[in-house]
Amino acid sequence: MNLAKMISKFFLIACLPLLLLVGCKKDKIDAIKEESNSEKVLTISRNFSTKAELNKFMENTKTLREEVVITVPTTSSSDTLLHTNSLENTIPSPAVGYHSWRFNFEQFAEDGYPSVLFCVGNYDPLFNISNFSNSLALGSELFPGKTASISDGQTFFTTLGPDGWVIQSSHSFVEELSLGGVIAWRRSYSVRATVRPGIQPNTIKAVLDFIQI
């Protein structure tokens, strides 16, 4: 009986460090998960001297839209894969291969809003593969995340083909409006980004819609 108690006691002492290690590891994993699940929200801060200025700004910025058209090459960035005939004869890139496009929205930049849209991805009609994503940026910073942030993720509708194509994504950000240095209003924006062929040959048009929610 004493031998059994000794063995049990020895086993408990031997396993205790292992149990503590497992517990600490679980806490660390939970902390990492919690950190990864908390999205970094892009917040734009503005200060106004008078209430009249603040009210006028809020009234004029409930919805905002800007369009940008860029010229693109008629071949893809891939050296080994070229256009299919149907794409080559009807619409500009995307051709087969990898693509990276940048759109600069000058008015949004002047107003201090997110003003750069990156659209990257690849397209292969032979295997019915299209994988594109949009990223919005303010200055030199990208804000990754799925919701409540300027996001590189969640392209929710992508259609590519000989009859035309569109790439759309949704994003969001927060704007804090201060009056005399004190936050007077906090509002959220939903952003819709759309990329599609332009009217002129070899052009692509991007549109950003900002909507107060």
Q: Give the separation between CA 174 and CA 136, rounded to whole angstroms.
A: 14
Give me the half-sphere count of Cα atoms (radius 13 Å) on the Cβ side of residue 154: 16
Q: What are the C-alpha distances in Å from 199 to residues 45, 133, 164, 166, 193?
A: 37, 23, 12, 14, 18
> CB–CB of 176/44 below 8 Å?
yes
> CB–CB of 179/194 below 8 Å?
no
| Claim: this prediction has a pTM higher than 0.85 | no
pLDDT number for residue 54: 94
pLDDT average, residue stretch 207-211? 92
Range ranked top by mean pLDDT from 5-19, 50-64, 114-128, 166-180: 50-64
76 contacts: CB under 8 Å, gap ≥ 6: 82, 83, 93, 94, 95, 96, 97, 98, 99, 123
pLDDT average, residue stretch 128-139? 78
Residues 161-189: tens digit of each pLDDT: 555 677 888 888 899 999 999 999 999 99
Parse the chain into domains and list their residue ranges. Answer: 1-38, 43-212
